[in-house]
């Protein structure tokens, strides 16, 4: 198990300080009407008569649209009210900055306690064109805060050489969050782990003399402080910190160090304390976080990272209870199955956290995104970093997870004041059942009813009223009477998403040339030494120390002389090549012919290769292409973990030849890499060979083809199912490593996932015997209207003619609701309570914009079973279910089907709690 897997699987504590709250509507009185101000709308009438109202809302962040609207409202009075100069001075002097502090209950912003929902989105794991949509989707999903790491190795390419462009335009990303009216948590680190290459620390730092990462090492501390200061100063110049009137309310130094601090001996604790002191000396005016730092010194707050954090207690009674990372899924490694975490269990964990006094929750990840280029770490972390997150890798909301959590956030926000100001009382109602009640000083009452039983639903009597609480669930009662939300009852529809294939379309360059005629160009790499060798050495060198991560590839080449009299030349027996490696993978060539490949995996990078080979009389060239698949990203002294060959032998009939101590010739990287063959401008010395029919199953081959973009505007994936292993580029932008290696058919996969009981990464895996990753995200913004250059480097052989683009599209919907589900509208809770006269729950279906519900493929009211795409009728079934749903939904973009007597009568299976299951198709 990787260090990061051990960390995440067993949970960890973090050190953090508070975050931001959704901007609520503010009313400002005018002489004729109220100005309704929200993060999405500004509307005001004539002259303002109540100036006190205008500048008294100190809980509204000055960076927000509310703040800007207040300034606009005042400025409109300038010409008619001379005294406005004084008011403007008073307004900006009181609201130009936000004071961020905390107490034992929560983060406090401008004197107001805040209950906050945060969403992790890593800017380099998407593209600038996607950032506004991702942030907007997080906000619509109920998030108040956007959280991101700052990726040191993506910004400081060499000492003092900084890069902040394209996907690494940090200022642009932070500004987009600000303009969306959201707070921000900036996790500077600068060590991040994050399944990111080398944990985000630049590889060059490892080769600075005297440097040891993450301990009391002066060179490391010097460079760490320099980068931290650079980022802080950059944020200060933009006035992004809340203390300057901005929206960054928290900053993080270091990351998840507490579990390994002791491993570093006498250097561990002094380093951790130095990091805290160094961060505080930056004078940001906002609290700092130190993730998983059990001994975090004041004023740093220790927080929790895990699948569950309800039982976490801060290391001081003066610190609030904060959850830095709630993992809504899990990362994936090449060759492994696909992990999933059910929406019901995530909601359960969140509800339990707030039930037990939590105040800030961050989803890691809310949008995982893509490990473009060679940024994935691990090693063996896939190019996809989807993380089964509420927003998927391609930027589409994942239903029901996104919607279920959105409803949860609404319910929790209804409880905000009581949770942060009320007195808590615990009522134990059974061995695994309890209620936490918060009594608001203003008279409000909030209750969380929890059933921790992993198997049995139960009836709970609370305040003389009965509540049915499913196993492993929490019911939220914002008024201590009515259930607004139950974590196990998913009312949201489920999206059925497919990757719709589309053949590569050639650029039409003449009227006689059809769009189906692709013109391929190829370039062949030489196995072994191309050009001049880099150096010659007896024995082996470490792969990473040699390449310094400038490339994945390192050639080890030697020769073996075979006498003509050797018996195995007759073909009656074959020599056996035996290779051992520290990792991560190897392709073995003999006399320019690929013999075999081998690799480690996400649990163990080391491996052995044994394969028969063919030798000829005379000199034989043995060329071994060693490969890395992302560098170590976490663990104590992780920068010293090596890779590359450790032993090479050939077993013959009469004994074994050990080549390990031979003279080996080394070559770093590939010729195509050195020539920048993948660059869109075509400025290189490589001579491409045109091929109307490209070679198949040929190793060490570069392919280039000019194509038009896929139709439509859906997200795009590159289908590499029929290729071997390599890397891909579009218009010079690195899509990333591809490797459609399959997981074992003998692994255990779950046809359906039982959300009940504690989640762990192997609980709900799917995809046994299938490629770990078949599709590779190609952002739409990378495409030109025509003439797109797609370049593929194939290491071991595949069929490029079967490469396709696929459009990620919602093709259908499922809905499943029971008669005992909460049916009240959380948007207008008070009104919903007053008007709730036996309203029934309903199945709500809505196709994406521009699409209609074209057909109903399943409908059953009664006791249907199964899951989306595999529903089955039960013993109780209303015979007209299909026609009721079809009448309500067909040929509409959206519909609602109530579980009412008008639709389904009242005499069907009268003693049974009934359910409605629907599956529908969406089309243009």
Rounded Cα distance, 364 and 538, in Å:
47
Of 5, 256, 525, 673, the active-site residue reads 256
For 404, phi and psi rounded to 5 degrees? -65, -40
Residues ≥6 apart with Cβ < 8 Å to 199: 191, 192, 193, 377, 632, 633, 634, 638
Q: What is the dihedral of CA 385, 390, 391, 394, to 10 degrees?
A: 50
Residue located via tokens 């015979």: 879
For 667, phi and psi rounded to 5 degrees? -140, 125
E strands, 190-301, in order: 248-255, 288-291
Residue located via tokens 């985000």: 200
Alpha carbon of residue 124 to chain centroid: 11
170-181 burial string, b = 16+ CB within 10 Å, else e? beebbbbbbebb
Indicate if 325 belongs to the active site. yes
CB 817 within 8 A of CB 843: yes
Rounded Cα distance, 447 and 437, in Å:
4
Residues ≥6 apart with Cβ < 8 Å to 832: 824, 825, 826
Token pair recorded at residue 135: 């942030």
Other CB atoms closer than 10 Å to residue 791's CB: what's the count? 23
Residue located via tokens 């409908």: 859
Other CB atoms closer than 10 Å to residue 118's CB: what's the count? 30
Rounded Cα distance, 175 and 179, in Å:
6
Rounded Cα distance, 290 and 254, in Å:
6
Rounded Cα distance, 776 and 720, in Å:
8
Rounded Cα distance, 555 and 665, in Å:
8
Find residue 198's DSSP bridge partners: none
Of 5, 147, 325, 714, the active-site residue reads 325
Say which DSSP state 710 is in: P
CB 619 within 8 A of CB 587: no
Indicate if 403 belongs to the active site. no
Residue located via tokens 């050990």: 658
Rounded Cα distance, 9 and 370, in Å:
22
Closest CA to 23 of 138, 183, 135: 183
First to last CA, the chain: 46
Q: Cis before residue 379, ω within 30 degrees of 0? A: yes
Say which DSSP state 2 is in: -
Q: What is the dihedral of CA 795, 801, 802, 804, to 10 degrees?
A: 100
Rounded Cα distance, 441 and 418, in Å:
8
Token pair recorded at residue 866: 């199964």
Alpha carbon of residue 680 to chain centroid: 29
622-636 burial string, b = 16+ CB within 10 Å, else e? bbbbbbbbbbbbbbb
Backbone conformation region of residue 210, classed left if phi is above 0, alpha if psi is from -120 to 50, else beta: left
Token pair recorded at residue 276: 């805290």
Rounded Cα distance, 739 and 552, in Å:
14
CB 413 within 8 A of CB 142: yes
CB 900 within 8 A of CB 804: no
Other CB atoms closer than 10 Å to residue 568's CB: what's the count? 17
Which residues are part of the catalytic machinery?
256, 325
């Amino acid at each position: 198990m990787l260090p990061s897997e051990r960390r995440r699987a067993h949970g960890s504590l973090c050190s953090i300080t508070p975050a931001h709250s959704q901007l609520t509507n503010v009313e400002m009185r005018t002489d004729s009407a109220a100005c309704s101000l929200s993060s999405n709308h500004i509307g005001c009438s004539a002259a303002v008569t109540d100036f006190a109202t205008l500048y008294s809302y100190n809980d509204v962040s000055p960076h927000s649209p509310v703040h800007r609207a207040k300034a606009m409202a005042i400025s409109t009075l300038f010409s008619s009210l001379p005294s406005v100069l004084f008011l403007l001075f008073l307004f900006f002097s009181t609201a130009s900055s936000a004071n961020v502090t905390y107490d034992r209950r929560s983060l406090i912003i401008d004197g107001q306690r805040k209950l906050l929902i945060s969403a992790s989105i890593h800017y380099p794991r998407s593209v600038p064109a996607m950032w506004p949509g991702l942030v907007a989707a997080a906000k619509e999903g109920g998030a108040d805060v956007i959280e991101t790491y700052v990726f040191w190795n993506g910004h400081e390419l060499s000492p003092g050489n900084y890069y902040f462009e394209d996907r690494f335009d940090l200022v642009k990303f932070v500004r987009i969050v600000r303009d969306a009216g959201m707070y921000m948590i900036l996790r500077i680190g600068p060590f991040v782990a994050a399944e990111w290459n080398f944990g985000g620390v630049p590889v060059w730092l490892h080769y600075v003399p005297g440097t040891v990462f993450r301990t009391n090492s002066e060179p490391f501390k010097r460079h760490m402080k320099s980068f931290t200061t650079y980022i802080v100063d950059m944020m200060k110049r933009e006035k992004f910190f809340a203390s300057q009137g901005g929206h960054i309310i928290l900053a993080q130094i270091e990351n998840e160090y507490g579990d390994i601090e002791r491993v570093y001996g006498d250097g561990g604790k002094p380093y951790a304390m130095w990091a805290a002191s160094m961060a505080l000396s930056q004078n940001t005016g906002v609290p700092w976080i130190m993730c998983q730092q059990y001994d975090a010194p004041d004023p740093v707050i220790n927080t929790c990272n895990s699948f569950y954090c309800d039982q976490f207690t801060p290391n001081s009674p003066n610190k609030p209870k904060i959850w830095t990372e709630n993992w809504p899924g899990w990362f994936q490694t090449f060759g492994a199955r696909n992990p999933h975490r059910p929406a019901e269990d995530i909601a359960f964990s969140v509800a339990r956290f707030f039930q037990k006094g939590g105040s800030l929750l961050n989803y890691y990840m809310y949008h995982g995104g893509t490990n473009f280029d060679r940024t994935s770490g691990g090693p063996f972390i896939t190019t996809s970093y989807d993380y089964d997150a509420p927003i998927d890798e391609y930027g589409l909301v994942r239903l029901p997870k996104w919607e279920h959590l959105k409803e949860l956030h609404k319910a929790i926000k209804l409880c905000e004041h009581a949770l942060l100001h009320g007195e808590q009382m615990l009522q134990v109602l059974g061995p695994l059942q309890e209620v936490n009640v918060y009594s608001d000083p203003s008279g409000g009452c909030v209750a969380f009813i929890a059933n921790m039983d992993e198997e049995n639903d139960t009836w709970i009597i609370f305040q003389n009223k009965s509540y049915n609480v499913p196993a492993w669930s929490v019911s939220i009662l914002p008024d201590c009477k009515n259930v607004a939300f139950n974590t196990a009852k998913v009312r949201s529809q489920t999206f059925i998403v497919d990757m719709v294939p589309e053949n590569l379309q050639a650029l039409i360059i003449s009227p006689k040339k059809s769009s189906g005629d692709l013109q391929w160009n190829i370039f062949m790499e030489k196995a072994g030494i191309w050009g001049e060798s880099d150096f010659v050495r007896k024995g082996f060198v470490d792969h990473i120390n040699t390449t310094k991560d400038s490339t994945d590839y390192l050639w080890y080449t030697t020769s073996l002389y075979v006498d003509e009299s050797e018996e195995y030349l007759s073909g009656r027996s074959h020599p056996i090549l035996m290779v051992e490696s520290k990792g991560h993978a190897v392709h073995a060539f003999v006399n320019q012919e690929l013999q075999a490949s081998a690799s480690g995996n996400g649990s163990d990078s080391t491996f052995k290769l044994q394969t028969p080979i063919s030798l000829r009389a005379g000199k034989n060239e043995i060329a071994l292409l060693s490969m890395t698949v992302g560098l170590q990203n976490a663990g104590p002294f992780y920068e010293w973990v090596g890779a590359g060959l450790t032993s090479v032998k050939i077993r013959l009939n009469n004994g074994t030849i050990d080549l390990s101590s031979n003279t080996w010739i080394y070559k770093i990287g590939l010729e195509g890499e050195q020539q920048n063959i993948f660059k869109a401008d075509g400025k290189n010395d490589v001579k491409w060979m045109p091929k109307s029919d490209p070679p198949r199953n040929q190793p060490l081959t570069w392919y280039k083809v000019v194509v038009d973009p896929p139709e439509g505007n859906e997200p795009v994936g590159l289908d590499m199912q029929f290729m071997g292993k390599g890397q891909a580029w579009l218009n010079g932008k690195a899509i990333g490593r591809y490797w459609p290696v399959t997981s074992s058919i003998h692994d255990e996969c779950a046809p359906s996932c039982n959300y009940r009981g504690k989640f762990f990464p192997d609980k709900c895996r799917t995809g046994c015997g299938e490629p770990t990753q078949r599709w590779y995200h190609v952002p739409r913004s990378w495409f030109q209207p025509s003439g797109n250059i797609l370049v593929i480097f194939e290491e071991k052989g595949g069929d490029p003619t079967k490469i396709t683009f696929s459009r990620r599209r919602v093709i259908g919907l499922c809905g499943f609701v029971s008669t005992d589900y909460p049916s009240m509208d959380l948007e207008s809770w008070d009104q919903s309570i007053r008007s709730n006269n036996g309203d029934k729950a309903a199945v709500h279906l809505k196709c994406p914009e521009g699409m209609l519900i074209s057909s109903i493929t399943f409908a059953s009211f009664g006791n249907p079973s199964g899951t989306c795409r595999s529903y089955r009728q039960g013993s109780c079934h209303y015979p007209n279910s299909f026609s009721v749903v079809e009448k309500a939904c067909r040929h509409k973009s959206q519909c609602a089907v109530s579980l009412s007597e008008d639709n389904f009568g009242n005499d069907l299976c009268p003693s049974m709690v009934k359910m409605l299951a629907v599956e529908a198709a969406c089309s243009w």
